[in-house]
């Protein structure tokens, strides 16, 4: 069943989650998450996990490393935490962030 199907959407809602989808043909709001999950599926070793707790721990460790250790070409070889810290510094200094971090 596809994530846009009404039955799936009702199950998501009943589980207490809020589904995030943009209009058809507009993928930009979800692009960072699609990128993250694409990398995680390629890089995370999970086949040896025997319990859901082990899998959660492995995913948590991956997310921590992804945000604190993994450099990105698209972020000028910075890690996401460094990009956020730089944006906060620039914001506090009164710099136009749209220009500095490439927001269009």
The domain segmentation of the chain, as residue ranges, is 25-70, 73-104
Asked whether residue 103 carries a pLDDT value surpassing 50, the answer given is no
Tell me the C-alpha distance between 17 and 14, whole Å.
7
pLDDT at 53: 93
* Positive or negative torsion for Cα 89, 33, 41, 51: positive
For residue 72, list its beta bridge partners: 78
Would you say the pTM of this structure is higher than 0.75?
no
| Rg of the Cα atoms in the chain | 18
Stronger pLDDT, 93 or 32, i.e. the higher one: 32
């Amino acid at each position: 069943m596809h994530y846009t199907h009404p039955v799936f959407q009702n199950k998501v809602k009943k589980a207490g989650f809020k589904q995030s989808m943009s209009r058809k043909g507009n993928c930009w709001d979800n692009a960072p998450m699609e990128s993250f999950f694409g990398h995680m599926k390629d890089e995370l070793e999970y086949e040896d996990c025997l319990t859901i707790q082990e899998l959660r721990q492995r995913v948590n460790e991956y997310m921590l490393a992804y945000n604190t250790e993994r450099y990105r070409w698209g972020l000028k070889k910075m890690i996401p935490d460094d990009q956020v810290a730089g944006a906060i510094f620039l914001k506090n200094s009164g710099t136009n962030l749209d220009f500095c971090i490439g927001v269009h």
